[in-house]
Amino acid sequence: MFWRIAKTGAPLLVALFALTDCIEENAEAGSSDEKMIQDPQTVPSQGAAGDLVKSPLFFRGTVIASDPSIVEIGSGYRMFYTDLDTRRGRTVIATAVSTDGLDWTTEGRDKGVDGLVMAGEDGRWDENVESAAVVKSGDTWSLYFSGYRDRGNPFKGFPAALFLATSTDGRNFQRVSDDPVLAPTKGWYDNDAIYSPTILRDGGTYYMIYVGHAYTDTSKIGTGGVFLLAAESPDGRNWTKLETPIARPGQFSDWRADGIAEPYLVKQGPGKFLLFFTGLSGERRAIGVAQGATPLGPFKFGSTPIIEPGARGAQDEHQVLAPAAVLTGNKLTIWYLAANSKEMLTIGKSEGTVPSVLGASE
């Protein structure tokens, strides 16, 4: 949810920063053809735990690049991310491919957005779309995304529900329905919005961890805020929500004091699952990792961030959030949303080894 980065005096309930400001700041980086930004201010080890090393190369979309979701393909990787349609002032979802996970190339251009794969539809729930989660099973690509209307309550971005589209090539997607596959439950932990899903298919079952927002009606839960929630499905379309949150605001008193958001679930091995996440504390954002024996926990949350903001002047100097991860043996690659002091949004990359990073997180 890139719009939750805006500066505000109130933690958690963050209003959408002006799209015009975002467009102007990101446009200063160059034309839409300049996708990769070389950042001489990046210190590879600054804000990186264990043996993680940050790359000085950052990816930007047509205007921004946010909320990465990574799928391994035969020739490398396909990334899905949030971008902006400047013609309508709406969030959209785009894709890019890479052989090394570092240098990304978009394919095609539609509605003024390079690599566009999903845009909102006028007058419907999903006029704006963002926060993609992609699952590839055989020849079928399933694209889950959050959608919300132009007019929101209490702010733009609320309420938001989860939608699904499918594809056979990873480029051309069709919605399975005009209705969401997962909608907010009145008075519950996701009363106002469902965002940032991460979905893993394991043993024939689909497991989802997502972020629920509850502010305007907390009648069933007492206190609102940002909650980490779970659901499961036999087919990826019909979901059952779990009753108890995985994490809730106030559970921690440190860099996660305001809650945990933007989860990304990865299977490490039999009975071993890693959950990467964003820790929220005021305006501070940092990336951490948790370990669990099942896809939906319970999880042991590491007490130390594994990725924090970088050096002054770096692309990730202001905030780091929304991780996506791939494991190759003990090699760990993490992509993340990087925000600089002007809130220019790009996607960075870091690499390390699982034992070192997990050890540093404890």
What would the mean pLDDT of 283-293 be, rounded to a whole number?
97
- Residue 89 has φ and ψ, to the nearest 5°, of 65, 40
Q: How far apart are CA 362 and CA 352, in angstroms?
A: 16
Q: What is the residue extent of each domain of the chain? A: 20-361
Phi-psi domain of 111 (left: phi exceeds 0; alpha: psi -120 through 50; beta: other): left
Round the average pLDDT of the chain to a whole number and report it: 90
159 prior amide bond cis, ω within 30: yes
Topology at the third CATH level for domain 20-361: Tachylectin-2; Chain A (2.115.10)
Tell me the C-alpha distance between 64 and 61, whole Å. Answer: 5
Q: What pLDDT sits at residue 3?
A: 38
| CA dist., res. 322 & res. 331, Å (int) | 20
Residue 124 has pLDDT above 90, yes or no: no
The reported pLDDT for the residue numbered 17 is 39
Note the pLDDT of residue 152: 77
Percent of the chain with pLDDT over 70: 91
Assess whether pLDDT exceeds 80 at residue 245. yes
